[in-house]
Amino acid sequence: MRLTVVGAGYVGLVSACCLAEMGNQVCLLEHNPARLQALQQGRVPIYEPGLEALLQQVLNRQLQVTGNVSLALNEPELILVAVGTPSQADGNVDLSQLWQLAEAVQEHLRHPTVLVLKSTVAVGTGDALQAWFEQRAIPVQVVNNPEFLKEGAALEDFRRPQRILIGAEDAAAAAIVERLYVPFTRNQARVLHMRRREAEFSKYAANAFLASRISFMNELAELAEHVQVDIEAVRQGIGSDQRIGRHFIYAGCGYGGSCFPKDLRALSHLGRSQGLPLPLLSAIEQRNERQKQRLIDKLEALLGSHWYGKRVALWGLAFKPDTDDIREAPALVLLRALLARGATVQAHDPAAMPAVAERFPEAVASGQLQLCNEPYAALENAHALCLLTEWKLFREPDWLRVMQLLAEPRVLDGRNQYDPGQLATMGFVYLGIGRGGLASERRNRAAA
Ligand SMILES: NC(=O)C1=CN([C@@H]2O[C@H](COP(=O)(O)OP(=O)(O)OC[C@H]3O[C@@H](n4cnc5c(N)ncnc54)[C@H](O)[C@@H]3O)[C@@H](O)[C@H]2O)C=CC1
Ligand SMILES: O=C(O)[C@H]1O[C@H](OP(=O)(O)OP(=O)(O)OC[C@H]2O[C@@H](n3ccc(=O)[nH]c3=O)[C@H](O)[C@@H]2O)[C@H](O)[C@@H](O)[C@@H]1O
């Protein structure tokens, strides 16, 4: 098929490359000049495993990357929309990028087309957009087709989707979108047809449900600390029940990223706009905020409350492993607190350091934030090590070397990656998340 993808972010770039890989003729429209230039040279401006190799394989063959709006919107059979839909201050979703695109479609489109919303949009957006095009007699059918890929595993998720949701009011438009996915649904994926607003709602429901599991476990983790229970044992105890499942029940330092926080806010906003109290959704968000703050409490338990002049090592800054994305990353909450309270921070992250340097230029310039080019350099003379993102690189450290490098043998394990018994035996003071069942942790909490 001949299609245009608008927006070369995580979703648009991955979609464009994977659709091009299947033989479609794809035009990828991006208006950010730096991003555009990088892509045209075959460089991926974000960190996503495998993506750069795929881009180079399809670029200037099945995939054209352009900033030329008129070329991109002239006569594609399909337009896939993957522009950003960030939060507004009131929690509602900001659809300004989408409406700007609608204006561009009005100006440049010369043939009937199907406009497929892959961006996460407020419930009712597709209907509003459809009405807008109809009022102007522009031959566009709007379809909602939410994207469920995860950063860090985006290619795998796109190539092997578990389900494809097609939300449409027009059967012919739905059939065209379904045809696009035929190469991806041969094995297992189910294609589910529904109304446009049901697809929009389903996207929010999926993210809110996953976030609720994480907040649920984080809440129980705090309780576990008070009743001498290790939440890791509980995770295994419940995850083996197939009705519950093993995914998204890892206690940690709270969910971050560009989607869960903003989508929860948008769903709560929808409730408020309907005059409906939705206390369960509010609780998910409140717990998540508390969970990020708990990192600060825990570090105080390890270091005392005066951090001025202390040196703290951070392993991991991205909101999750295998990405350079730091949007709403839990690590930033602790990092800001450390900087505000006069500590020196030595950090390492395999991919997110450029983004952090851009976000905290003054701290980097003053030397208060040192971004180290390998994990062990971050440990030198530090008074504590905090693991905040569970990159594979941090899973099996050389603990003897860690002990030698740290000024004080203290470990805050924000992702429950380490064996507290082993660390206690070696002489580390260890704090994890919800690891109340461990004699060492009880002792350390009492001592702290
Ligand atoms: N990041 C993720 O893992 C996922 C994101 N989503 C949703 O997909 C949407 C996009 O997310 P991301 O890819 O993370 O966003 P992003 O912000 O990383 O990328 C959006 C891109 O669109 C470009 N853009 C905006 N308007 C444009 C226009 N008129 N013409 C050309 N380029 C334009 C921007 O310059 C930017 O490069 C959001 O609605 C998000 O909620 C859905 C599933 C997964
Ligand atoms: O709408 C979106 O943008 C995407 O949001 C999430 O994907 P993503 O944010 O990339 O990453 P996740 O793997 O879901 O992790 C989100 C956050 O939850 C945290 N998390 C995840 C799982 C868990 O058990 N515990 C936990 O704390 C992660 O550390 C991370 O901070 C969803 O998983 C995707 O299906 C969805 O398409």
- The residue with tokens 């930033």 is 332
216 touches ligand 2 (CB under 6 Å):
no
Map out the domains of the chain with their CATH numbers: 2-193 (3.40.50.720), 219-447 (3.40.50.720)
Closest CA relative to residue 200, chosen from 144, 147, 161: 144
Distance CA 338, CA 54 (A): 40
The parts of the chain modelled with pLDDT lower than 70 are 188-189, 437-448
Which DSSP state fits 342? Answer: T
- The residue with tokens 């939410």 is 146
Candidate from 4, 6, 11 with most ligand 1 atoms within 8 A of CB, to mutate: 11
Cβ atoms of residues 328 and 319 within 8 Å: yes
In sequence order, what are the beta bridge partners of 370?
A: 346
Q: Which pLDDT belongs to residue 115?
A: 98
pLDDT for 195-221, tens place per residue? Answer: 999 999 999 999 999 999 999 999 999
**CB-based contacts of 218: which residues, under 8 Å, 6+ apart?**
251, 252, 254, 287, 288, 291, 433, 434
**CB-based contacts of 314: which residues, under 8 Å, 6+ apart?**
331, 334, 335, 345, 346, 347, 348, 378, 386, 388
Cβ atoms of residues 314 and 331 within 8 Å: yes
259 a catalytic residue: yes
Q: Whose CA is nearest to atom 34 of ligand 1?
A: 7
Residue type, 396: E
259 touches ligand 1 (CB under 6 Å):
yes
ipTM for the complex shown: 0.98
pLDDT for 340-369, tens place per residue? Answer: 999 999 999 999 999 999 999 999 999 999
In sequence order, what are the beta bridge partners of 192?
A: 165
Q: Which pLDDT belongs to residue 436?
A: 86
Distance CA 382, CA 222 (A): 27
pLDDT for 155-164, tens place per residue? Answer: 999 999 999 9
- 320 known ligand binder: yes
